[in-house]
Amino acid sequence: MNNQQLAKQLETLADLLEFTGANSFRTRAYRNGARAIRQLTQSMEKLIAENEDLTRIEGIGKSVAEKCQELLATGHLKQMEEILQTVPRSVLDLLNVPKLGPKKAAALFNELQITNLDQLKSACENNLVRGLAGFGEKTEAAILAGIPIAAQANARMLWAEADQFVEQLRSHFQKCPAVKRIEFAGSYRRCSETVGDLDILIVAKDVDEVMDWFAKVDSVAEVIARGPTKMAVRLENGPNVDLRVVPNESFGAALQYFTGSKEHNVAIRQRAKDRNLKVNEWGVFSDADPEKSIAGTEENDVYQSLGLTWITPELRENRGEIELAEKNQLPKLIELKDIAGDLHMHTTATDGSATIEEMAEAAKAIGLHYIAITDHSKRVSMANGLNKKRLLEQWEEIDCLNEWMTDDFIILKGIECDILEAGGMDLPDDVLEQADWVIASVHYGQNQPSEKITQRIIGAIENPFVSIIAHPTGRLINSRPPYDVDMEAVMDAAVTHRKMLELNASPKRLDLNEFHLAAAKKRGIPIVISTDAHHPHGLRAMRYGIQQARRAGLEPKDVANTRTWGDLKSLIL
């Protein structure tokens, strides 16, 4: 059982405990423990096998440590099974309904005997839910709208998908005369890997005009609720969108509050309390004069009032950013303009849709100075992978093209070479040593045991002609979990053998994740952000990798392909 599975079990236990009315301190402990485990780069299984004291990990107490040991020893939790003997397992589906929560789900179960989504839908359609204390007509409507989402548990959108809806909405509101200021908040603004609901904040000349305008968005399938300053809609084949109209003097405070994260905001509010201040969505208020806001129009002023420099949204997860802001030591995060080259892409020689020359021209058009052509090796037969003969012919073609390139642009001879299931590389060393850039990657045997798949990757790192490991954990967000790979061991090997690790910028991958990236930064492992583009437009995916890197606190110096090719070559053994 890997760390993500452990964390999921602890989160489910917390939900069930809250559902049954357990002490809030117990549920909070399990949620904090799950969060801590998700952020670990070490394997909990390995830590337990080595008899490490788990309670030394921040966020993990004695009870959480015992539950982890039980899960790894037995595969289940006795306490969870006992709870599920008193309530049907199907109530877990209710907990996936957005904005319902364990306490409201418990009320539905206890008072209406609702145990599954079909029963919940029927109860909402027959107006039975609105009659319960604490619900009402609006809550019933919101629950009904959330049932399809719950039926596709964990089906949060990729950030890139959410961005498409945001651009549509932004374009729509820019044409509204009543809109004075507009920003999107929440997990979208923090550039999280996935996004649930969208949050819009607006300063308006006329509130009703803005809300009428909102209702006219082409993709609005349903107006869920409309009040004096708030409105919620459901987009067709898209997310729910919450709109809040706020006064200009509160816009910065509201933006800070609704951007989150929850953990960041809790820490901010505590900091304010320690200074006899109060922070909420309306502004910053002093205990001495609680009616008068001392900051709130601009987000920067909110942070300054607390003795902090402004914290970029990508860092707002309460992972040390507040302490760094207090000392004015926040990292100068990487930006898209810092990238000099893209070192992972495919052409028509394998599974791409453009020629080498077309990819080069597209890269030059967006300001890059070098690219590596890294088509698949022969093991990836479904992509018409290259054997030795075809690869050497491709490299001859690249040599010819480089003769015609301008002095400030070069095409590198590369290959994405598979790490074979039994270990070893898919092409012989006498071929790999002729390359400018060799990517090693796993495409087969992804379900192998941890020790096996880890050793395969370490074996590739030890190969003197391999430059980098691509998409090191193999995950596909929302559809495929990562390999059961020991990333701590992989990083140790990367340090020892001076190899690089990829941040694959494909929005479906974003691999490495932010926690592994932060760990790599601490170890001094150079990161390369690459697009894995299969067509010219795919080169634009670099922005998603930049966002992921920023969430991990990466600066330009941490990313190898911010360097010129001449400087980057010095990092390759």
Both 35 and 173 in one domain: the answer is no
Both 4 and 107 in one domain: the answer is no
Structural tokens at position 142: 């919101």
Both 409 and 459 in one domain: the answer is yes
Beta strands in 398-499 (DSSP E): 410-418, 437-441, 468-469
- Average pLDDT over every residue of 13-42: 84
- Average pLDDT over every residue of 10-25: 87
Domain boundary residue among 200, 217, 245? 245
User: Higher pLDDT residue, 457 or 480?
Assistant: 457
Q: How confident is the model at residue 5 (pLDDT cuts 50, 70, 90)?
A: confident
What is the pLDDT, as a whole number, of residue 452? 97
Q: How confident is the model at residue 22 (pLDDT cuts 50, 70, 90)?
A: confident
Report how far residue 26's alpha carbon sits from residue 17's, in angstroms, rounded to the nearest whole number: 8
* 289: alpha, beta or left? (left if phi > 0; alpha if psi -120 to 50): beta
Element (H, E) at 341: strand 341-342
CA distances from 243 to 163, 200, 202, 350 (A): 16, 5, 8, 46
Both 493 and 397 in one domain: the answer is yes
Element (H, E) at 221: strand 220-226
Report how far residue 27's alpha carbon sits from residue 20's, in angstroms, rounded to the nearest whole number: 11
Domain, as residue range, for 32 = 1-86
Q: What percentage of the chain exceeds 70 in pLDDT?
A: 98
- Average pLDDT over every residue of 95-109: 83
Residue 259 lies in a domain: yes
- Hey, how many other C-beta atoms are within 10 angstroms of the C-beta on 224? 19
Both 385 and 474 in one domain: the answer is yes
What is the pLDDT, as a whole number, of residue 153? 44
Name all contacts of 51-59 with Cβ < 8 Å and 24+ positions apart: 59/32, 59/33, 59/35
CB 213, CB 204: distance < 8 Å:
no
Report how far residue 380's alpha carbon sits from residue 391's, in angstroms, rounded to the nearest whole number: 14
Listed residue (425, 468, 409, 418) closest to 444, CA to CA: 418
- Average pLDDT over every residue of 12-19: 88
Structural tokens at position 485: 């790979």
CATH code of the domain containing 70: 1.10.150.110
At residue 260, φ and ψ (nearest 5 deg) are: 75, -155
Q: 256 exposed, middle or buried (CB, 10 Å; 0-12, 13-18, 19+)?
A: buried
How crowded is the C-beta side of 105, counted as CA atoms within 13 Å? 29
What is the pLDDT, as a whole number, of residue 72? 86
* 461: alpha, beta or left? (left if phi > 0; alpha if psi -120 to 50): alpha
Q: Residues 347-391: pLDDT tens digits? A: 999 999 899 999 999 999 999 999 999 999 999 998 899 999 999
Residue 101 lies in a domain: yes
- Hey, how many other C-beta atoms are within 10 angstroms of the C-beta on 171? 10
Cα distance between the two ends of the chain: 36
Buried b (16+ CB within 10 A) or exposed e, 111-146: eeebbebebbbebbeeebbeebeebeeebbbbbbbb
CB 520, CB 512: distance < 8 Å:
yes
Structural tokens at position 323: 């302490």
Q: Residues 39-75: pLDDT tens digits? A: 676 788 889 988 889 898 888 999 999 999 998 888 8
Q: How confident is the model at residue 509 (pLDDT cuts 50, 70, 90)?
A: very high
Q: How confident is the model at residue 8 (pLDDT cuts 50, 70, 90)?
A: confident
Residue 331 lies in a domain: no
What is the pLDDT, as a whole number, of residue 155? 57
Helix, strand or coil, per DSSP, at residue 18:
helix
Q: What percentage of the chain exceeds 90 in pLDDT?
A: 70
Instruction: List all residues 6 or more positions away from 276 whose beta carbon is below 8 Å from its beta carbon.
Output: 286, 287, 288
Both 78 and 206 in one domain: the answer is no
Rg value, the chain, Cα? 26
What is the pLDDT, as a whole number, of residue 99? 67
- Hey, how many other C-beta atoms are within 10 angstroms of the C-beta on 155? 14
Q: Beta 289-295 vs 341-342: how paired, if at all? A: unpaired
Minimum mean pLDDT range among 284-293, 366-375, 454-463, 490-499: 284-293
Mean per-residue pLDDT of the chain = 92
Q: Beta 198-204 vs 230-235: how paired, if at all? A: unpaired
- Hey, how many other C-beta atoms are within 10 angstroms of the C-beta on 464? 10
Q: Residues 111-154: pLDDT tens digits? A: 999 988 889 999 999 999 999 988 988 889 888 887 876 765 44
CB 410, CB 369: distance < 8 Å:
yes
Both 294 and 442 in one domain: the answer is no
- Average pLDDT over every residue of 256-271: 96
Structural tokens at position 550: 């920023």
* For residue 324, pLDDT beyond 70: yes
CATH code of the domain containing 364: 3.20.20.140
Residue 395 lies in a domain: yes
* For residue 89, pLDDT beyond 50: yes
Q: How confident is the model at residue 301 (pLDDT cuts 50, 70, 90)?
A: very high
Both 236 and 255 in one domain: the answer is no
Both 226 and 369 in one domain: the answer is no
Both 487 and 543 in one domain: the answer is yes
Q: How confident is the model at residue 477 (pLDDT cuts 50, 70, 90)?
A: confident
Report how far residue 83's alpha carbon sits from residue 72's, in angstroms, rounded to the nearest whole number: 20
Domain boundary residue among 35, 54, 86? 86
What is the pLDDT, as a whole number, of residue 479? 64
Minimum mean pLDDT range among 3-7, 124-128, 329-333, 474-478: 3-7
Domain boundary residue among 197, 218, 245? 245
* For residue 100, pLDDT beyond 90: no
CATH code of the domain containing 206: 3.30.460.10
What is the pLDDT, as a whole number, of residue 138? 86
User: Higher pLDDT residue, 220 or 332?
Assistant: 332
Report how far residue 557's alpha carbon sits from residue 366's, in angstroms, rounded to the nearest whole number: 21
CATH code of the domain containing 116: 1.10.150.20
Residue 432 lies in a domain: yes
What is the pLDDT, as a whole number, of residue 364? 96
Both 26 and 100 in one domain: the answer is no
Both 137 and 218 in one domain: the answer is no
At residue 288, φ and ψ (nearest 5 deg) are: -70, -30
* For residue 162, pLDDT beyond 50: yes
Q: How far is CA 548 from the centre of its chain?
A: 7
Instruction: List all residues 6 or more positions away from 167 whose beta carbon is below 8 Å from its beta carbon.
Output: none
What is the pLDDT, as a whole number, of residue 152? 52
Q: Structural domain tally of the chain? A: 5
Q: Residues 517-562: pLDDT tens digits? A: 999 999 999 999 999 999 998 999 999 999 999 999 999 999 999 9
